[in-house]
Protein backbone atom coordinates (compact mmCIF):
# COMPACT_ATOMS: atom_id res chain seq x y z
CA UNK A 1 0.00 0.00 0.00
CA UNK A 2 1.27 3.41 -0.96
CA UNK A 3 1.26 6.35 1.33
CA UNK A 4 -0.18 9.58 0.05
CA UNK A 5 1.74 12.67 0.80
CA UNK A 6 -0.19 15.53 2.22
CA UNK A 7 0.90 18.93 1.11
CA UNK A 8 2.15 21.19 3.87
CA UNK A 9 0.68 24.68 4.03
CA UNK A 10 1.65 27.55 6.23
CA UNK A 11 -1.13 28.72 8.52
CA UNK A 12 -1.32 32.54 8.18
CA UNK A 13 -3.72 33.17 11.07
CA UNK A 14 -1.07 33.57 13.82
CA UNK A 15 1.03 35.77 11.52
CA UNK A 16 -1.88 38.18 11.01
CA UNK A 17 -2.40 38.34 14.78
CA UNK A 18 1.26 39.17 15.37
CA UNK A 19 1.22 41.91 12.72
CA UNK A 20 -1.83 43.55 14.30
CA UNK A 21 -0.26 43.36 17.76
CA UNK A 22 2.91 45.02 16.46
CA UNK A 23 0.88 47.73 14.75
CA UNK A 24 -1.04 48.47 17.95
CA UNK A 25 2.20 48.48 19.96
CA UNK A 26 3.86 51.04 17.69
CA UNK A 27 0.77 53.28 17.60
CA UNK A 28 0.50 53.30 21.38
CA UNK A 29 4.20 53.90 22.06
CA UNK A 30 4.82 56.52 19.37
CA UNK A 31 5.39 60.11 20.42
CA UNK A 32 3.27 62.59 18.56
CA UNK A 33 4.71 65.88 17.36
CA UNK A 34 4.52 68.63 19.95
CA UNK A 35 4.40 72.37 19.37
CA UNK A 36 7.69 73.51 18.00
CA UNK A 37 9.16 76.51 19.73
CA UNK A 38 11.30 79.10 18.01
CA UNK A 39 13.26 79.76 21.21
CA UNK A 40 14.46 77.47 23.99
CA UNK A 41 12.39 78.52 27.01
CA UNK A 42 12.22 77.46 30.63
CA UNK A 43 8.53 78.09 31.37
CA UNK A 44 7.20 78.47 34.91
CA UNK A 45 5.00 75.63 36.11
CA UNK A 46 1.28 75.98 36.78
CA UNK A 47 -1.00 74.00 39.04
CA UNK A 48 -4.06 74.00 36.81
CA UNK A 49 -4.34 73.04 33.16
CA UNK A 50 -5.18 75.68 30.59
CA UNK A 51 -7.43 75.72 27.58
CA UNK A 52 -6.10 75.20 24.09
CA UNK A 53 -6.93 77.88 21.56
CA UNK A 54 -8.10 76.27 18.32
CA UNK A 55 -8.55 79.21 15.99
CA UNK A 56 -5.87 81.30 14.29
CA UNK A 57 -3.49 82.88 16.75
CA UNK A 58 -0.33 84.95 17.04
CA UNK A 59 2.52 83.38 19.01
CA UNK A 60 5.12 85.49 20.82
CA UNK A 61 8.08 83.87 22.60
CA UNK A 62 10.65 85.65 24.72
CA UNK A 63 13.80 84.59 26.53
CA UNK A 64 16.59 86.68 28.04
CA UNK A 65 18.33 87.30 24.72
CA UNK A 66 15.74 86.89 21.97
CA UNK A 67 12.19 87.60 20.90
CA UNK A 68 10.21 85.57 18.36
CA UNK A 69 6.92 86.23 16.58
CA UNK A 70 5.22 83.30 14.81
CA UNK A 71 8.45 81.25 14.71
CA UNK A 72 10.63 84.10 13.37
CA UNK A 73 13.23 85.85 15.51
CA UNK A 74 12.54 89.60 15.68
CA UNK A 75 13.50 92.65 17.72
CA UNK A 76 11.01 95.02 19.36
CA UNK A 77 10.98 97.36 16.36
CA UNK A 78 10.16 94.52 13.94
CA UNK A 79 7.57 93.15 16.40
CA UNK A 80 5.92 96.59 16.47
CA UNK A 81 5.64 96.47 12.65
CA UNK A 82 4.26 92.92 12.70
CA UNK A 83 1.67 93.75 15.36
CA UNK A 84 0.53 96.82 13.41
CA UNK A 85 -0.37 94.53 10.48
CA UNK A 86 -2.87 92.53 12.56
CA UNK A 87 -6.34 93.71 11.60
CA UNK A 88 -8.44 91.43 13.82
CA UNK A 89 -7.91 92.88 17.31
CA UNK A 90 -9.68 89.95 19.01
CA UNK A 91 -7.01 87.56 17.66
CA UNK A 92 -5.67 85.35 20.47
CA UNK A 93 -2.05 86.16 21.30
CA UNK A 94 -0.19 83.21 22.83
CA UNK A 95 2.72 84.50 24.95
CA UNK A 96 5.53 82.22 26.13
CA UNK A 97 8.04 83.98 28.38
CA UNK A 98 11.06 82.37 29.99
CA UNK A 99 10.96 82.77 33.76
CA UNK A 100 14.39 84.45 33.77
CA UNK A 101 13.35 87.37 31.53
CA UNK A 102 13.71 90.76 33.18
CA UNK A 103 10.48 92.42 34.25
CA UNK A 104 11.23 95.53 32.15
CA UNK A 105 11.30 93.45 28.96
CA UNK A 106 7.92 91.89 29.80
CA UNK A 107 6.39 95.33 30.41
CA UNK A 108 7.86 96.55 27.12
CA UNK A 109 6.18 93.60 25.33
CA UNK A 110 2.82 94.18 27.05
CA UNK A 111 3.01 97.91 26.22
CA UNK A 112 3.43 97.00 22.54
CA UNK A 113 0.44 94.67 22.68
CA UNK A 114 -1.67 97.34 24.40
CA UNK A 115 -0.57 99.96 21.85
CA UNK A 116 -1.99 97.80 19.04
CA UNK A 117 -5.18 96.89 20.94
CA UNK A 118 -4.32 93.20 21.27
CA UNK A 119 -5.85 92.30 24.63
CA UNK A 120 -6.79 88.65 24.09
CA UNK A 121 -3.69 87.19 25.75
CA UNK A 122 -2.89 83.66 26.86
CA UNK A 123 0.23 83.21 28.97
CA UNK A 124 1.62 79.72 28.49
CA UNK A 125 3.04 77.76 31.38
CA UNK A 126 4.80 74.44 31.60
CA UNK A 127 2.28 71.68 32.24
CA UNK A 128 2.45 70.20 35.73
CA UNK A 129 3.53 66.57 35.67
Domain count, the chain: 1
Within a 10 A sphere around the Cβ of 109, how many other Cβ atoms? 18
pLDDT of the residue at 1: 63
Q: What is the CATH number of the domain that holds 69?
A: 3.30.420.270
What would you report as the CA-atom Rg of the chain, rounded to the nearest whole angstrom? 27
Helices (H), the chain: 13-29, 76-84, 103-115
Within-domain flag for 13: no
Work out the percent of the chain whose per-residue pLDDT is above 70. 81
Phi and psi at 86, nearest 5°, equal -75, 120
CA distances from 60 to 11, 13, 28, 125 (A): 58, 54, 33, 13
Residue 104: pLDDT band (50, 70, 90) is very high
Asked if 123 and 95 touch (Cβ cutoff 8 Å), the reply is yes
Domain of residue 89 covers: 35-129
- Give tens-digit pLDDT for 43-89: 777 666 555 444 488 899 998 888 999 888 999 999 999 899 888 88
Residue 126 is given by DSSP the state B
Within-domain flag for 42: yes
pLDDT of the residue at 119: 87
pTM over 0.85? The answer is: no
Within-domain flag for 64: yes
Amino acid sequence: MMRRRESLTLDMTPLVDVVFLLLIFFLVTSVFKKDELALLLNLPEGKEGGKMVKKKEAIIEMNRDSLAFNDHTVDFKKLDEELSRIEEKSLPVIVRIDKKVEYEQIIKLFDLLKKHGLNNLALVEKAAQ
